[in-house]
Amino acid sequence: MQRDETQARTEDLWGEIAPDLGMSGLEPRFRRMKVNCRYVDRRCVLAVSLSDGTELVLRADFGEDRIDRFQRIVNRHRAAAQGVEAVAGVNVPKIIWQHPTRHFTVMEFAPGETAFRELDLSDFGLANRAQTLQRIGQAVAELHACSKTEQREFWPKHNLNRVADRARDVRSGVLGMRKKAKFLGLCAYLHRAGRRARGVSFAGAIEHGDLHLRNILMTEDTVSFIDFANDRNAVPQNDIANLWLANCPDHLAQAGQKVGYGQVAEADWAAFFSGYGQDFRLDPVFQFCFAMRLFSVWRRLPAPMDPVDPRAQAMINGVVSVFNWLIENEPD
For residue 70, what is the domain's CATH number? 3.30.200.20
Residue 157's CB is within 10 A of a number of other CB atoms, namely 9
Both 100 and 162 in a single domain? no
Both 253 and 292 in a single domain? yes
pLDDT of residue 2: 54
Both 118 and 101 in a single domain? no
Both 148 and 235 in a single domain? yes
Give the largest CA-CA distance in the chain: 67
Both 101 and 131 in a single domain? no
Q: Structural domain tally of the chain?
A: 2
Q: Final residue of a domain: which of 108, 136, 162?
A: 108
Both 255 and 176 in a single domain? yes
Rounded average pLDDT per 10-residue block, the chain, 332 residues: 79 94 93 79 91 95 83 92 95 95 94 93 82 97 89 96 98 96 98 98 93 95 94 92 94 94 98 98 98 97 94 96 98 90
pLDDT of residue 324: 98
The pTM assigned to this predicted structure is: 0.93
- C-alpha span between 26 and 28 (Å, rounded): 6
For the domain that residue 174 is a member of, what is the CATH number?
Answer: 3.90.1200.10
Of 318, 38, 299, nearest to 159 by C-alpha is 299
pLDDT in tens, 168-192: 999 999 999 999 999 999 999 999 9
Strands, E assignment, 136-215: 151-153, 201-203
- C-alpha span between 216 and 278 (Å, rounded): 20
Both 25 and 162 in a single domain? no
Of 200, 182, 286, nearest to 243 by C-alpha is 286
Residue 170's CB is within 10 A of a number of other CB atoms, namely 17
Of 325, 331, 305, 332, nearest to 186 by C-alpha is 325
Distances (CA, A) of 217 to 59, 107, 110, 227, 285: 17, 15, 7, 11, 28
Cβ-proximal residues to 97 (8 Å cutoff; 6+ apart), any chain: 17, 20, 21, 105, 106
- C-alpha span between 84 and 63 (Å, rounded): 30
Cβ-proximal residues to 199 (8 Å cutoff; 6+ apart), any chain: 153, 154, 155
Both 51 and 126 in a single domain? no
Pairing state between β 90-91 and 223-225 = parallel
Both 100 and 124 in a single domain? no
Asked if omega into 249 is within 30° of 0 (cis), the reply is yes
Both 166 and 267 in a single domain? yes
Residue 308's CB is within 10 A of a number of other CB atoms, namely 14
Q: List 225's β-bridge partners, or say none.
A: 216
Q: Final residue of a domain: which of 84, 108, 132?
A: 108
Both 238 and 277 in a single domain? yes
Q: Final residue of a domain: which of 68, 89, 108?
A: 108
Both 286 and 184 in a single domain? yes
Residues of the domain holding 289 = 113-328
pLDDT of residue 3: 55
